[in-house]
Amino acid sequence: MNEQPSRPDQGRSRRQLLLIVTIAFAPVIGAYLLYFYLPAMVPTARSNHGQLISPPLEASALGPELADFAGRWTMIAPVAGTDCNEACDHHLYLARQVHVALGKDSDRVERVLLHSGLLDAGLSARLADHYPAMKRLPVSPEALSLLAAAASGCAPGDCLFLADPLGNVMMYYEPGTEGGDLLADLKHLLRLSNIG
The answer on pLDDT for 112 being more than 90 is yes
Q: Give mean pLDDT, residues 134-157.
A: 86
The answer on pLDDT for 188 being more than 90 is yes
Secondary structure of residue 169 in the 3-state scheme: strand
Q: Binning pLDDT at 50, 70 and 90, where does residue 131 land? A: very high
Mean pLDDT check: name the lowest of 31-35, 39-43, 134-138.
Answer: 39-43
Maximum mean pLDDT: which of 34-43, 79-88, 103-112, 113-122: 103-112
More confident residue, 126 or 7: 126
Cα 92 from Cα 133, distance rounded (Å): 11
Rounded to two decimals, the pTM is 0.77
The answer on pLDDT for 1 being more than 60 is no
Cα 143 from Cα 133, distance rounded (Å): 23
The answer on pLDDT for 28 being more than 90 is yes
Domains in the chain: boundaries: 7-41, 51-192
Residue 51 DSSP class: E
Residue 133 and residue 119 in contact, taking contact as beta carbons nearer than 8 Å:
no
Element (H, E) at 171: strand 168-173
Q: Binning pLDDT at 50, 70 and 90, where does residue 63 land? A: confident
Q: Give the helix ranges, DSSP H, for 57-178.
A: 86-101, 121-130, 141-150
What is the predicted pLDDT for the residue at 189? 93
The answer on pLDDT for 4 being more than 70 is no
Is 3.40.30.10 the CATH classification of the domain at 51-192? yes
The answer on pLDDT for 14 being more than 60 is yes
Residue 162 and residue 74 in contact, taking contact as beta carbons nearer than 8 Å:
yes
The answer on pLDDT for 65 being more than 90 is no
